[in-house]
Amino acid sequence: MILAMAVKTVFVTCGATVPFPQLIHVVLGKALLERLSDAGFRRVIVQYGKGYEAEFRKRLNALECVPAKCSLADSTLGITATGLCCGFYAPGALEVIGLEYSTRVQDIVGLAGLVISHAGTGSILDSLRSGKPLIVCVNDKLMDNHQQQIADKFKQKGYVWACKPCESEVSECLSRSQSETLIRFPQAYSARFENDLKRLAFS
């Protein structure tokens, strides 16, 4: 376990339900993998979302990853029966782990030194509540959703770095994440709120 912690890990999550091909495309691009490797990362864990397994494997193959046994136990990753794939990206010896959906996202976030996430509030909270540096990537192909607004708001507050799913922008955020620190995300406990709840309930 101590060994597992020591491996500098980046966790990429597209959310559990809607695939986000553009983000996967950027992350599994040679350029970004090399940048990650240069920044000292040795493991990339990608939660690619429902129904994207075949496509993900295809991309791993295209990278000529050396198939390998995953260095993390199933219990750590909390995977469902399907969807685990794993390989080593040769030049940087970067381990790439893909999974469709994890029931233990919080544990994976705990392993990570950096999280790159879609702009869903659930995923954003998973990272920020664990105090992990977070790059938020907006899925601009989704119609009528609030991802752009959320990303802008969190970026404006200085809680995250935000970008579009293209190589140059993700790279830029990556290098900023290696030199800057984010503003601490405020805690969710409000004594005022609890007191108002009590007043409502007990009076």
Nearer to other proteins, 69 or 199 (CB): 199
Nearer to other proteins, 58 or 198 (CB): 198
| Least distance from other proteins to the Cβ atom of residue 143, Å | 14
**160 within 8 A of 176, measured Cβ to Cβ:** no
| Least distance from other proteins to the Cβ atom of residue 15, Å | 10
d(Cα 187, Cα 136) in Å, to the nearest integer?
20
| Least distance from other proteins to the Cβ atom of residue 97, Å | 23
**147 within 8 A of 119, measured Cβ to Cβ:** yes
126, amino acid identity? D
| Least distance from other proteins to the Cβ atom of residue 59, Å | 27
Nearer to other proteins, 90 or 197 (CB): 197
Residues that bind other proteins (CB under 8 A): 17, 120-122, 125, 129, 146, 149-150, 153, 186, 188-190, 192-203
Nearer to other proteins, 66 or 193 (CB): 193
How far is residue 156 from each of residues 28, 114, 148, 180, 186, measured CA to CA in Å? 28, 20, 12, 15, 14
CA dihedral (77, 15, 188, 128) in degrees, to 10, reads 70
